[in-house]
Amino acid sequence: MSNNNSKKRRHAPPPPAADAVFRIVCPAAKAADVTALAGDGAKIMVEDLGAAEERVVVIVAAAGAVSCEESAAQVALIRVFERTVEDETKNCSNSTVSCKLVAPSYQVGCVLGRGGKIVEKIRQESGAHIRVLPKDQPPLPPLGDEFIQVLFYNLKNGHSLPFDKFLRKHLQNL
């Protein structure tokens, strides 16, 4: 028997890693400012939400990490969040900071967890108040999506640090 080299196994290259995508709602007045925050491999696009005062900021980056813990998309999301709330946190000594994330309806259950266990753990660890907003109340989320609202109450000295820590630690669940 002869050894036929033409029948060697060929290994297909691994599929490219999926992109990390985050969508966050921001005031229309800040939409132009946040596109300048792209970089480090992240792209930032702004989509109309249908509401005159709000826009959806879409952040896309390759899934690879910028640092050992954060992807380029996570870093960009935190930058966008900081830019959208900077006026709220500067002008108030006792403020509420909120964020509305947009998630596909089929992924919302992953955020909540079975019996709400994941979202409850996030609440206990971070102090954040998290809820899925009703789909039928204005402003309406894009078709097939839902809004996840994250709130921090009574931030002292205008700092949003707990919110930043929350985003860094819990982004994989959102």
- Does residue 3 sit within a domain? no
pTM: 0.74
Q: Mind listing the pLDDT tens digit for each residue in 109-161?
A: 887 888 888 888 888 877 788 889 998 888 888 889 999 998 877 555 444 45
Return the CATH number at 71: 3.30.1370.10
The parent domain of residue 45 ranges over 19-173
CA–CA distance, 132 with 30 (Å, rounded to integer): 24
Q: How many helices (H) and strands (E) does the chain have?
A: 5, 6
- Does residue 74 sit within a domain? yes
Q: Mind listing the pLDDT tens digit for each residue in 18-49?
A: 678 889 888 888 888 887 777 778 888 888 87
Q: How many domains would you assign to the chain?
A: 1
